[in-house]
Amino acid sequence: VVAELQALEHTAMVVMVAQGRNTTTGAASVSGASTSSGNQSAATASSAAAGGGGGGGGSSGPTAAYSAHRVQAEKELREKFTAVELQFFELIHLSDLAVHMLEIYFKKEMCVFIDETDFLNICNQERKALEHAVDDSVAVGMDCVIEIILRQTQHILDTEQAAADYHPDTN
């Protein structure tokens, strides 16, 4: 799941970089990128690259079509991020449940045969090692998810917040 999040993050970065290009460069990159890869993420990124950011609001023609296409591509990308993030949080819940069940089983069944307070016992060491491995994996995934959410938030603020929000007209 973390690898899928990182791949989606890379796609999002391509979209954000492509927004700085003019429309002719974006159109050229669409023809090369979408034919060379059958990957849906690459197609989404190349579609968003077509909306590259040339032109202002309210214009008609190719720029408006590119802008509408870019908005649709960004919406699809946000939905993919949300689905993968929810899947990751479900996996965190399941891993927590598994560790909790292991702890209950250990206390009910294994503590009859071993001393739970003996830190040199191999069973206690392996149980702690498993708990640390799960905690480390969750921490790495959470770090990745938090970074992606922060980048998404920053991108939304950069693209959708107007300067007038900070300095409203006093007229």
pLDDT value for 25: 39
Reading the block at residue 75, the tokens are 């919406």
Work out the average pLDDT over 68-82: 82
Average pLDDT, the chain: 73
What is the C-alpha separation between 168 and 76, in angstroms, rounded?
Answer: 32
Closest CA to 49 of 74, 65, 30: 30
Is pTM beyond 0.95? Reply is: no
What is the C-alpha separation between 80 and 42, in angstroms, rounded?
Answer: 13
Cα separations in angstroms, 170 against 43, 164, 166: 45, 11, 12
pLDDT range class, residue 13, cuts 50, 70, 90: low
pLDDT range class, residue 66, cuts 50, 70, 90: low
pLDDT digits (tens, 9 = 90+) for 22-63: 333 333 333 333 333 333 443 333 343 334 444 444 445 566
Q: What is the CA radius of gyration of the chain?
A: 24
How many Cβ atoms sit within 10 Å of the Cβ of residue 163?
Answer: 7
Q: Is the pLDDT of residue 65 over 70?
A: no
What is the C-alpha separation between 55 and 62, in angstroms, rounded?
Answer: 10
